[in-house]
Amino acid sequence: MLQTRKEIVFVTMAGIFITSAIVAELISCKTVDFGLYPVIAGIAPWPVVFLLTDVMNEYFGKQAVRRLSWITCGLIAFCFLIVYLAVELPTAAGSYMSDAEFRKVFGGSLPIMIGSISAFMLSQLIDVYLFSFFSKLTKGKMIWLRSTGSTVVSQLVDSYTVLIIGFWIPGVFTFDQVLIFGITGYLTKLVIAVGLTPLVYVMHYAAKALLGEKPTAEG
């Protein structure tokens, strides 16, 4: 049973964090046309994950965020297992989706999940480290710098790691496509991350008001 407001805030943020990460895996098999360039649909929830990473790092510390990242990886792997079993189970006659349709939608998510687990952990570790580095460098000031600075690097690593493992190695994309989708996806996530910078301040002060205490690195 949750005893304190801090626990409730942490569990709520962790729930949004985990949900966003898992949903990103399931929708990554679709390519979205923004008119200017194509991007993978799964990039949409990731800025939320990185935003929460920065805010939670601020208030709960990098050890808590690192632990949450490992838990999220385990849950993505658990989701991978459930999806794999659902794909392999025989399809009943009269099913809303045929075996081929279901396999095409969810079967394509399996290698993406493997790539995403690898990309997620690598980018999260980089993000947490850089956030702490920028926080010490600015002596707890300039929230926008430590939030955006850590995200700029970590999302670049995330973009190409998942594309190489989830799309290039299985033969879904050519190397040229990986380069294109990596650039377009990274730029899209970067624009979203920069656009969410004001929300970092909103969440920072909302968390401070809710928790009634200073964060681990005041900004």
Domain limits of the chain? 5-210
**pLDDT band at residue 78 under the 50/70/90 scheme:** very high
pLDDT at residue number 73: 87
Least confident interval from 49-58, 59-68, 98-107:
49-58
Name the token pair of 100. 């081929």
Mean pLDDT of 3-30: 87
State pTM to two decimals.
0.74
Q: Which CATH class is domain 5-210?
A: mainly alpha
Nearest to 152 by CA among 179, 119, 120, 130: 130
Q: What is the pLDDT of residues 173-186, one digit of tens each?
A: 899 988 888 888 88
Q: Environment class of residue 159 by beta-carbon count within 10 Å: exposed (0-12), middle (13-18) or buried (19+)?
A: buried
